[in-house]
Amino acid sequence: RRSTSLDSTQTHDQMGIFEFFLQSSTSVSLLGALLLLLLYLSSSVTFSSDEDRKCPPGPKPLPILGNLLQLDLRRPYNSLMELSRKHGSVFTVYLGRRKVVVLAGYKTVKEALVNHAEEFGDRAPTMLVQHDHHQHGVLWANGDSWKEMRRFALASLRDFRMGRKVCEDKIFQECSYLMEVLKEWEGEPFDTTQPINFAVSNIICSMVYGSRFDYDDPEFTSLVDRTITIIQLAGSPSIMMYNLFPGLLKWISNRREFHRLSASSQQKNLEIITRLKKTLDPQRCRGFIDAFLVHMQSLEESGVTKSHFHQDNLLYTIMNLFAAGTDTTAITLRWGLLLMAKHPQIQNQVQEELSRVVGHRQVLLEDRKNLHFTNAVVHEIQRVANVAPTALPHVTSQDVVFQGHFIKKGTVVYPLLAAVLCDEEEWEQPHTFHPAHFLDQEAKFVKPDAFMPFSAGSSGPRACPGEALARMELFIFLASLLQHFSFSPVPGVSPEQLLVASAPGSASIPLAHQLCALPRL
């Protein structure tokens, strides 16, 4: 593999729409390419109405294809960042025939998602998600159902102490299990993916299902592995193309695999719901599912016949919570360990501070106020990891004039978080791993306003409901792991040669790699 560095400019071969089709060896893909070419040549769509002239500027689109030829489908957020440098912080691109307004830079994203939270507050489900979720759950839904599910989920998870100090015990417990797994490798190379996924997932499991699982429990491991695969498939270039041309690309294998795995996860969650229902005690709720079932029973006993509290909303809400509570935090932790192995001098500074401030006892959340450098490193990992470069797509709930541009109701909006976390006006070294971004002149921790890994606004309608929990997990997991282990590349690979790059897709996921965890204590 070619050696790259986070501190150097990485170049990637672009994957355009025609390359997407031609890379496949099937005759169906060639037929699809020919059909698209015929549509392109015969189309009379010009994208030049008076309404479009009032919209934010952007690159000139082609009929049918829009601006797809200008995007790297492997990492579309990089292409959007390049376009923002030319067209400004608010610009329009056409993904096929779909018009998308992209928001780039800290000031613009904050103004839209905080100052105009209601106007930009609806969710824009993709074609794949629409077919799968049917406007249920808390992640992709809109309207009254979404509002009720979100309100209930937040209240219930608060009852189970999400984000509060007593939640530390659950994280401490998983830290101990995870460290036992790492010790078993005895310093030999291992893939960090599964053990970290299992540890992080167990935190949300204890809150949603009411209990944690053993790491070798086949029900648990298959549920986690399927969920991670589903998320990766949803962000793949082929699924991106299906979402834009669903009638033409129903044949792609990733779409069929997505629906197969999703159906399997739904069935497994229904089995868990049924099992929990049989042992339900309304006086002692074990987790979110119990609380939801008790509320459903209460409504039925009160004679309420029409309600958003039904099994479909329960099923998709717990699947949303499970996925959100596993994926982004686990990916960020994997980036963190990879970056520590890449920058051993920074790892040493963290360990020196931990030894000086904490010693051999368990790292506590309250230690964060005295672990300034460690806290800065955790935040810089989140900034550089940039796990959700475009956030989830929004859609305008009404016509809005934003920064002098008219944006029509129903327009899809991409908040480009990658351009916020690398905003050259906000960060001293935006493209470098530089923990000093979060330290003042006295080496005390400080959090810049442009730090938005969870999107903008902690109280807006689409604010991440698990932000407080994720922040706790990231600090305790990373500090505890670095307290007990030193992470390094596999033998024969120097830190300078360690590959730090993301896999293809709309999310920023580290490429497959192995590390060594050497015990310190």
Q: Which residues are annotated as a binding site for heme?
A: 464
What does DSSP assign to residue 62? B
Cα 253 to Cα 239: distance, rounded to the nearest angstrom = 9
Using DSSP's 3-state secondary structure scheme, residue 195 falls into: helix
Closest CA to 98 of 124, 137, 131, 134: 124
CA–CA separation, 294 vs 307, rounded Å?
14
User: Coil, helix or strand for 510?
Assistant: strand
Q: Which residue has the tokens 């810089």?
A: 380
Long-range contacts of 133-138 (CB under 8 A, 24+ apart): 133/316, 134/312, 136/312, 136/313, 136/315, 136/316, 136/317, 137/313, 137/316, 137/317, 137/319, 137/320, 138/317, 138/320, 138/321, 138/465
Name the maximum alpha-carbon separation found in the chain: 71
Tell me the C-alpha distance between 423 and 70, whole Å: 22
Summarize the annotated binding site as residue ranges: 464
Closest CA to 509 of 224, 220, 228, 199: 228
Helix (H) or strand (E) holding 414: strand 412-416
Q: How many of the other CB atoms lie within 10 Å of CB of 515?
A: 21
Q: How far apart are CA 102 and CA 94, in angstroms?
A: 10
Sheet strands (E) in 72-197: 90-95, 98-104, 122-123
Q: Are 347 and 167 in contact (CB under 8 A)?
A: no
Residue whose tokens read 């009411």: 210
Instruction: Look at the block and give the residue holding tokens 């986070």.
Output: 6
Please give the Cα distance from 476 to 340 (Å, whole number).
16
Spatial separation of the C-alpha atoms in residues 459 and 499, rounded to whole Å: 37
Structure tokens at 196: 């970290």
* Helix (H) or strand (E) run with residue 488 in it: strand 485-488
